[in-house]
Amino acid sequence: MARRRQRKVVLNVAMWCVRIVFGALLAFPFYWMLITTFKRNTDLNNLKNNPFIFNEPPTLDHLRLLFHETMFGRWVLNTAFAGLIVVIITLVLAVPAAYALARLTGNWGAQLGIGVFLTYLVPPTLLFIPLSKVVAMLGLQDTLWSVIVVYPTFTLPFSIWLLMGFFKSIPKDLDDAAMVDGLTRWGAFVKLMIPMSVSGILTVVIFAFTLVTQEFVYALTFISSAANQTVGVGVPTYLVRGDVYYWGSLMAACLITSVPIGILYNTFLDRFIEGFTGGAVK
């Protein structure tokens, strides 16, 4: 018994050490962005200074540059609006499509689902030219709606494939039992399948919104005016001028935009992992 207790103590200490190390590694990028945001340019450019601490008093100049000399606030709002609309479009189309392919198509549903997923693997660099013609035909050039129309072309295939696997992991007997109790197929889908698939749906929400925030090629191609740009294009375009990098303001922008997403991931981490493993493995 004493040896077992010693082993448990040693294992617990080892696990906590591993957690602390991994936590420090994960937190280090945020610490680096934070300290760079408030460092003076002379401190950043002096290679003899210690890069991990403040060698000079902190400053707010980089935040003033970010908010007063660029349209960073507008870019954040544009990105949030585009992400919200794209997430809604993705859910409205992907959830019923995945359910239909998983339940109502017979043996060829899986093959069709793989075909849908393969479209996700097509590089954006091959698609932005033909899609630019579509955007021009719709009269959406240089508007935020141009990317809102285009982004579901790569969020939908992956989301459908992911949710197909999640729906397949739910026994078909539950659908049959619900319809025996008087529900229609649509009623069983809305009242039974969707509540049981919250983890997969939440995974799709996080995945789609993250893709919108980090996408660069389409936003750069379809939007030229600063007022309509997203964070992924506006920040590098206006804070990298020739060979001059405004590192303090760049890190401030990265920190402000990455912290909410990091909190979102950590808050729903268990459901996020469950959604990926349920959809991709089962």
Residues forming a β-bridge with 245: 240
pLDDT at 267 over 90: no
The 10s digit of each residue's pLDDT in 254-264 is 999 888 887 87
Go through 48-72 and write b for each residue having 16 or more CB atoms within 10 A of its CB, e for each that does not: eeeeeeeeeeebeebbebbbeebbb
Residues 69-96, mean pLDDT to the nearest whole number: 92
* The pLDDT value given to residue 220: 87
Rounded to 10°, the helix 247-267/61-68 angle is 80
Q: Domain segments of the chain: what residues?
A: 2-59, 70-280
Angle (CA) 34-40-41 rounded to 5° is 110
CB 201 within 8 A of CB 163: yes
Which CATH homologous superfamily contains domain 70-280? MetI-like (1.10.3720.10)
Mean pLDDT (the chain, rounded): 83
Residue 268 dihedral angles phi and psi, to the nearest 5°:
-110, 30
Per-residue pLDDT tens for 226-243? 888 999 888 988 888 878
Report pLDDT digits (tens) over 45-61.
887 888 888 888 899 99
pLDDT of 279 strictly over 60: no
Q: What φ, ψ does residue 245 adopt, rounded to 5°?
A: -110, 120
Of the pLDDT bands very low, low, confident and very high (cuts 50, 70, 90), residue 77 is very high
At 233 the three-state DSSP class reads helix
Output the CA angle 118-204-107, nearest 5 degrees: 45
Q: What average pLDDT score do residues 267-272 get?
A: 65
Confidence class for position 280, pLDDT limits 50, 70, 90: very low
24-47: average pLDDT: 88
pLDDT at residue 85, as a whole number: 94
281 falls in which pLDDT band (50, 70, 90)? Answer: very low
Percent of the chain with pLDDT over 90: 20
